[in-house]
Amino acid sequence: MAKDEINAFLGAGTAYQGKLHFQGSVRIDGVFHGEVTSEGTLVVGQEADVQGTINVGQLVLSGRMTGEVHAREKIVLHRTANLQGCLFTPVLVVEEGAVVEGSITMNGSPKAETVAE
C-alpha cells in the first residue's frame, strides 16, 4: 500500500458521531462529532465539519474543525481551513487565507532539541 493511500473515506452528505480509531490515512468530507485517535494521517476535506478531540500523527485540514487537536508530526492548514480551538504540534504549515481562532502550542521534537557537541 502506498504511504499516501486513503484507507477509509467518510463522504460528503453523511454525519457520524462517536470514536474513530484507524491506521494509515482517513479522509472526512462529511460531519463528524467525537474523538479521533490514530498514529496516521487525518485529511479533512473542504466541505467537512469536524468537532471534538483529535489525536493523530498528521492533520491536513481544508474544512472546518472545532476542538482540541494534537498532532505528533505536523498540521497543514490549507487556505480554506477554519479551525477554532487549541493546536498542539511540532510543525505547523498555514496557507494564506486559513483561519485559526484559539491557541497554538508548538513544542519541537526531541531530535530538534538535540545539540551536537
Dihedral (C-alpha) 73, 6, 66, 61: value to the nearest 10 degrees?
70
- The number of CA neighbours under 13 Å toward the Cβ of 86 is 7
pLDDT tens by residue, 41-91: 999 999 999 999 999 999 999 999 999 999 999 999 999 999 999 999 999
pTM for the whole structure: 0.85
Dihedral (C-alpha) 15, 38, 77, 52: value to the nearest 10 degrees?
50
Chain centroid, CA 15 distance in Å: 18
pLDDT tens by residue, 10-54: 788 899 999 999 999 999 999 999 999 999 999 999 999 999 999
CB-CB contact of 73 with 92 (8 Å): no
Burial per residue of 53-89, b for 16 or more beta-carbon CB atoms within 10 angstroms, e otherwise = ebbbebbbbbbbbbbebbbeebbbbbebbbbebebbb
